[in-house]
């Protein structure tokens, strides 16, 4: 299991330090801190990875997406284009802003297809949210070009790709905003937290205030004495999460290297058995905790599944909009002066044609030779049965 798998003495020391100093909250109490701000250090470490001008740590990846949407000024009834293959949080973030989720099609890498997103642009489109799904980059050059062409902000849902890259650039730092998650299922976890990135000062300022009840943060004033800017919520992280985050980002290169080494062995074995791995826009930047192969037909995928015990992605109720009843129920309704489209499964035929052929194995960060060999045997058995 990802996340806590790599916890060790470093996390214990980092957490103990916060507790011993009794400085568990990130804002205020400046005279008692001795200049130590762990949440800020976490943000600085994240910024150093993406090269973004601003990073804001928040309480979850979902909070990061909502904060980004609020930061760019999404209003009720606005449309936000995203992918039908994502964790439900992407769509929930749009709905939390009373905006309308508009679902595009997938490209062959299983990320949002930029050409399909362009066809969905209307005067009400206020953001496009490509999702770097299952550890793999969406085609960011195309999204950046699309954003420029229509003057629409691109918000990267990079919750699953902390440390991932696209053509040498860190994911989360390419679009107008980007969001990372550190929830317990991620390779790097702090329990719960997210990070939101931007290069734009005004967007950062709105996000910074929004995530903390509209407080205008300042080290000159203590809590309560600072200025106020608009309404907000409480998406703050604690110093405990900040301290764990600093450790997590230090461990990132080693964790990703271990995952990549295992993946390579399994993908190579699959290719030798005649399988087609999931195509990627930039395989070097892949951070996936999965290995995915694309079978020629849905029937072949079922045969592969029966022989190997793997999952077929089309069945995945967490990550495929076809399964989300709550979304279906909000379809074809009047909605803050706009109208929602249908979200019924038949509107997702193109995604279905890809996801019903996609078979997937989940990985741990560290896998023994025996565990890897067992997975390779399953891949080979699947290939023999299906091809």
Angle at 89 between CA 216 and CA 46, to 5 degrees: 50
Interacting residues of 339 by C-beta distance below 8 A, sequence separation 6+: 332, 333
- Examine residue 183 and tell whether it contacts ligand PLP (CB under 6 A): yes
Pick between residue 112 and residue 310 the one whose CB is nearest to ligand PLP: 112
Pick between residue 131 and residue 351 the one whose CB is nearest to ligand PLP: 131
- Examine residue 90 and tell whether it contacts ligand PLP (CB under 6 A): yes
Pick between residue 109 and residue 181 the one whose CB is nearest to ligand PLP: 181
Give residue for tokens 């699947």.
Answer: 382
- Examine residue 68 and tell whether it contacts ligand PLP (CB under 6 A): no
- Examine residue 131 and tell whether it contacts ligand PLP (CB under 6 A): yes
Report the site for ligand PLP in 15-34 (rule: CB under 6 A).
none
- Examine residue 282 and tell whether it contacts ligand PLP (CB under 6 A): no
Q: Which range in 86-94, 106-114, 236-244, 256-264 contacts ligand PLP by CB under 6 A? A: 86-94
- Examine residue 89 and tell whether it contacts ligand PLP (CB under 6 A): yes
337, exposed or middle or buried, with CB in 10 Å at 0-12, 13-18, 19+? exposed
- Examine residue 187 and tell whether it contacts ligand PLP (CB under 6 A): no
Say how many C-beta atoms besides its own lie within 10 A of residue 118's C-beta: 17
- Examine residue 83 and tell whether it contacts ligand PLP (CB under 6 A): no
Q: Which residues pair with 100 in a beta bridge?
A: 79
- What's the CA gap between 135 and 124, in Å, rounded? 30
Q: Which range in 3-11, 96-104, 154-162, 332-340 contacts ligand PLP by CB under 6 A? A: 154-162
The SS3 call for residue 256 is helix
Torsion angle, alpha carbons of 56, 59, 62, 67, to 10: -40
The SS3 call for residue 342 is coil
- Examine residue 266 and tell whether it contacts ligand PLP (CB under 6 A): no
Rg (CA), the chain: 21
- Examine residue 86 and tell whether it contacts ligand PLP (CB under 6 A): yes
- What's the CA gap between 188 and 2, in Å, rounded? 7
From 50, 60, 109, 203, residue interacting with ligand PLP (rule: CB under 6 A): 60
Cα Dmax for the chain:
69
Pick between residue 106 and residue 275 the one whose CB is nearest to ligand PLP: 106
Closest-CB residue for ligand PLP?
61
Give me the residues that bind ligand PLP (CB under 6 A), please.
Answer: 60-62, 86-87, 89-90, 131, 157, 159-160, 181, 183, 185, 194
């Amino acid at each position: 299991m990802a996340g806590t798998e790599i916890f060790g003495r470093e996390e214990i020391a980092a957490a103990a330090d916060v507790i011993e100093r009794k400085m568990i909250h990130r804002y205020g109490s400046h005279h008692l801190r001795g200049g130590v701000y762990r949440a800020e250090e976490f943000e600085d470490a994240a910024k150093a990875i993406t090269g973004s001008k601003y990073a804001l740590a928040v309480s979850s990846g979902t909070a990061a997406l909502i904060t980004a949407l609020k930061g760019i000024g999404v209003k009720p009834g606005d449309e936000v284009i995203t992918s039908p293959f994502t964790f439900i949080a992407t769509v929930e973030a749009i709905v939390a802003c009373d905006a309308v989720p508009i679902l595009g099609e997938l490209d062959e890498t299983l990320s949002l297809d930029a050409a399909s997103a362009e066809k969905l642009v209307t005067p009400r489109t206020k953001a496009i949210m490509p999702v770097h799904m299952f550890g793999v980059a969406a085609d960011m050059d195309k999204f950046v070009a699309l954003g420029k062409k229509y003057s629409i902000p691109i918000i990267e849902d990079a919750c699953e790709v902390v440390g991932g890259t696209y053509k040498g650039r860190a994911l989360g730092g390419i679009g107008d905003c980007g969001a990372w998650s550190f929830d317990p299922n991620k390779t790097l976890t702090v329990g719960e937290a997210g990070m939101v990135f931007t290069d734009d000062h005004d967007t950062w300022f709105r996000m910074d205030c929004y995530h903390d009840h509209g407080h205008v943060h300042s080290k000159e004033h203590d809590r309560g004495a600072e200025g106020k800017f608009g309404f907000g919520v409480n998406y703050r992280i604690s110093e405990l999460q900040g301290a764990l985050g600093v450790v997590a980002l230090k461990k990132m290169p080693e964790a990703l290297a271990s995952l990549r080494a295992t993946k390579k062995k399994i993908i190579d074995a699959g290719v030798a058995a005649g399988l087609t791995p999931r195509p990627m826009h930039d395989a070097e930047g892949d951070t996936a905790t999965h290995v995915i192969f694309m079978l020629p037909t849905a029937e072949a995928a079922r045969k592969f599944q029966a022989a190997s015990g793997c999952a077929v992605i089309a069945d995945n109720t967490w990550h495929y909009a076809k399964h989300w009843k709550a979304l279906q129920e909000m379809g074809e309704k009047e909605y803050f002066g706009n109208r929602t489209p249908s979200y019924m499964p038949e509107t997702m035929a193109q995604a279905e044609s890809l996801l019903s052929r996609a078979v997937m194995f989940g990985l741990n960060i560290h896998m023994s030779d025996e565990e890897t060999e067992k997975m390779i045997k399953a891949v080979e058995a699947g290939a023999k049965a299906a091809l």
